[in-house]
Amino acid sequence: MHWIIAPVILPALLAPLIAYVMRHDISLARIASLFGSIGLVAIAIVQTLLVMDGDILVYRLGDWPAPYGIVLVLDHLSALLVLVTSVLGLIVLTHAVATGWDAKGRHFHALFQFQLMGICGAFLTGDVFNLFVFFEVLLIASYGLMIHGGGKQRTRAGLQYIIINLAGSTLFLFGLGVLYATVGTLNIADIALKMQALPADEAALARVAAMLLMMVFAVKAALFPVQFWLPGTYANAPAPVAALFAIMTKVGAYAILRVYTIAFGPGIAATEDIGPDWLFPAALVTVALGAFGVLGARRLMPLIAYSVIGSMGTLMLAIAAFTPEATTAALYYLVHSTFAAAALFLIADLVVSRRKDDLLSPMLPTVQNGLFAALFFGAAIAMAGMPPLSGFLGKLLVLDALRAPGQMAWAWAAILLGSLITIVGFARAGSMVFWRSTGQDMQDPDLMTDQEEMLVTAPSARPWEIAPSMALLGLLAGLAIIAGPLTNYLEKTSAQLFDRESYISTVLDPTGTKIIKKEH
């Protein structure tokens, strides 16, 4: 049963090897990193198959039973997110290797593996303090990746990103301290047990802890009013890193989903109204901010970053309902928006590296203008939520799930108007970059500056540079094609997530017989 910890162990062993043994040999590091990522996908598939029949598997570190020891918990939700992470990681890594991004600074592959380790660990852990530790692992790797390649704007944006997240980490610890002082445990299942039996006079302190943790997760998920760090970070990060960061906002969304359904969720009097009272309005504003940001952006990378904020708003609207139906829709939209955001960043990277900069203004058309335009068009309609790709189905599922009175009017208005504005924004950006550029007269070659000449004669993208972006678009189309079976599976996932009793009894089972029984 050591499969459960394998997604953490594999990158954790590989990263130091790459950093110390292969640091002078980029091709060796590339091979090791690619094989590691393929291995991670394989492990994630095995994990998904392990929990296929609805088991919750518990891995006890040091064989200490919960809540005394730290446990990793593998259920449908964790397996799904680890799978999404590993597939995204492999695709993004291929892009970074193919375009040579990984050679623009040092230790890209080691940091990349540490990042994957932190993300997988955060999805698997069943203990909130351990969640904090994995957050720090993924953050410290992301700091290195964020400033990979250097440059003035990037380093300054990276500095801001680090400061925001250090403040967020401090807040996380304050929240954990209050929580521990109230319920005396940090295991998620045990917190749920203690919260159910919490006397009314201690409820206030538990609410403080729940709100502090909500703010921390909201920072990670880029939710209003703590979304301000995202555009600067994503727009200035190296494009493959920004594509990988598409899963980082989902770590925040996952943490909210996990902790606020099981530990602070429906049926727990002290904290159950945090979702509708706080998360829902915040998500509404986030959708609006993202849409207006897309409309107002003057550069391509910030435009994509704002579309990520908008998609996080839509996702959190669905999560904030805290019902199994809405969670099913949220999970589908989560998988979709991760791949859609990554596809946009990778395609934008192909385009921007062949232009002077990412300003949304007509310039000389790049080589392969038509191909890039088609790719961008595909990713943009997926992100904006137009048929035939998965964005349309995702938004439809979210709309369909948000039918409660008092919720429907706001959520539908926000999502539909937000989508409209996003479509306008993307259409404007696409026509500026790809269409109007073709109307630019070719200058006399003698009058061109060296830089312009270099850009016009920039090499066309080789097939394996385009392959990762194509693969992501293929995944988005695939999500739309297999939407039926996938939503059936996601229904099981959310049903399992809302079945608090069996989660508690499996994780806290002192004998461990359940696990042994399920091994056979």
Q: In angstroms, give the least distance from the CB of 153 to other proteins.
A: 5
Please report, as a single letter, which amino acid is at residue 243: A
Options 176, 253, 320, 379; binder of other proteins; rule CB under 8 A: 176
Candidates 389, 387, 388, 385; CA nearest to 398 is 385
If binding is defined by CB under 8 A, does position 156 make contact with other proteins? Answer: yes
Element at 249 (helix H, strand E) = helix 248-258
Where are the alpha helices (H) located in 390-462, listed in sequence order?
390-401, 408-430, 450-456
Candidates 339, 344, 334; CA nearest to 304 is 344
Choose between 56 and 239: whose C-beta lies nearer to other proteins: 239
If binding is defined by CB under 8 A, does position 228 make contact with other proteins? Answer: no
If binding is defined by CB under 8 A, does position 462 make contact with other proteins? Answer: no
Options 17, 23, 34, 180; binder of other proteins; rule CB under 8 A: 180
* 329 to 368: interface string for other proteins, x by CB under 8 A: --------------------x--xx-xxxxx---------
Choose between 168 and 418: whose C-beta lies nearer to other proteins: 168
Cα 205 → chain centroid: 31
Region from 84-92, 146-154, 373-381, 511-519 binding other proteins, contact rule CB under 8 A? 146-154
Options 61, 159, 454, 516; binder of other proteins; rule CB under 8 A: 159
DSSP letter, residue 461: P
Choose between 49 and 159: whose C-beta lies nearer to other proteins: 159
CA–CA dist 263, 73 (Å, integer): 14
Q: In angstroms, give the least distance from the CB of 132 to other proteins.
A: 8
Produce one character per residue of 342-351: b if its CB has 16 or more CB atoms within 10 Å, e if not.
bbbbbbbbbb
Do 248 and 334 touch, CB atoms closer than 8 A? no
* 370 to 409: interface string for other proteins, x by CB under 8 A: ----------------------------------------
Cα 327 → chain centroid: 16
Phi, psi values for residue 77, rounded to 5°: -65, -45
Options 39, 65, 151, 266; binder of other proteins; rule CB under 8 A: 151
Tokens linked to 102: 């990984």
If binding is defined by CB under 8 A, does position 13 make contact with other proteins? Answer: no
Options 59, 101, 217, 280; binder of other proteins; rule CB under 8 A: 101
List 59's β-bridge partners, or say none. 72
CA–CA dist 496, 75 (Å, integer): 8
Choose between 177 and 267: whose C-beta lies nearer to other proteins: 177
If binding is defined by CB under 8 A, does position 232 make contact with other proteins? Answer: yes
Options 1, 17, 23, 149; binder of other proteins; rule CB under 8 A: 149
If binding is defined by CB under 8 A, does position 449 make contact with other proteins? Answer: no
If binding is defined by CB under 8 A, does position 52 make contact with other proteins? Answer: no
CA–CA dist 282, 224 (Å, integer): 5
Options 11, 126, 238, 378; binder of other proteins; rule CB under 8 A: 238
Which position has the token pair 């802890």? 209
How many residues bind to other proteins according to rule CB under 8 A?
Answer: 47
Q: Would you list the DSSP string of 35-72?
A: HHHHHHHHHHHHHHHHTTTS--EEEEGGGPPTTTS-EE
Residues that bind other proteins (CB under 8 A): 101, 104, 129, 133, 136, 139-140, 143, 147, 149-160, 162-163, 166-167, 169-170, 173-174, 176-178, 180-181, 232, 236, 238-239, 299, 349, 352-353, 355-359
